[in-house]
Structure 1
Amino acid sequence: MAKRIDVIEDVKKKYVRMALETGNYTSIARKAGISRETLRNWIKLYEDEVRDVMETEGSTSLSDNPTKEELQKKYEQAMILLGEKELEVAMLKNVIKKNEFL
């Protein structure tokens, strides 16, 4: 049962991170299928932990009025992450192909 709780907490933290990175709580709450108040409660619970993870990864949240440079930096970070994920998907597809022939 503890494993299920960990998965649920991981999902909550994912939405907290998305909210912190974008600053758009309403959109993220809608995407998660929860109320904005519930998202705010999750942020109160997990904000410090999520920000620590973001900081170690070099990711930051947007300010209320982001500058062009801030937006450019976020875009570049997103492109790097996208490239990493595309590489990961390609590697997993390769593993699946190899396992199909075994």
Structure 2
Amino acid sequence: MKKNRQYTDELKEKIVQECQEVGNVGVVARRHDISANTIHTWIKKYRERGTAKSMKKQSVSNADADQQTAQQLQKVSTENDRLKRLVAEKELELAVLRELRDRTNPK
């Protein structure tokens, strides 16, 4: 069982930023021989307090990404509705043409 170690705020912030850059807490945890749970706790605290510069940037970029995703979803939804109307219109045209064909050329 490991002892409780004390880490400086500078080291914590450096490791949190490294996690942001690498994108994998487990890799950074193994690299520094620190529990991944400990690092996740630091990340959560930095997000709540907004003390780590990278966490602030991530919050903004996540908000931007969420907004872009919502805009893309809206575009796709609108396009989907337009295409559904177009398909319905074409199906109606086909039905009318088939009926006309059957009237002019009975079997």
Quickly name the TM-score band, shorter chain normalised: 0.3 to 0.5
- Structure with the bigger RCO (C-alpha within 8 Å, sep 6+) is 1
TM-score with structure 1 setting the length:
0.41
Larger Rg, first or second structure (1 or 2): 2
TM-score with structure 2 setting the length:
0.40
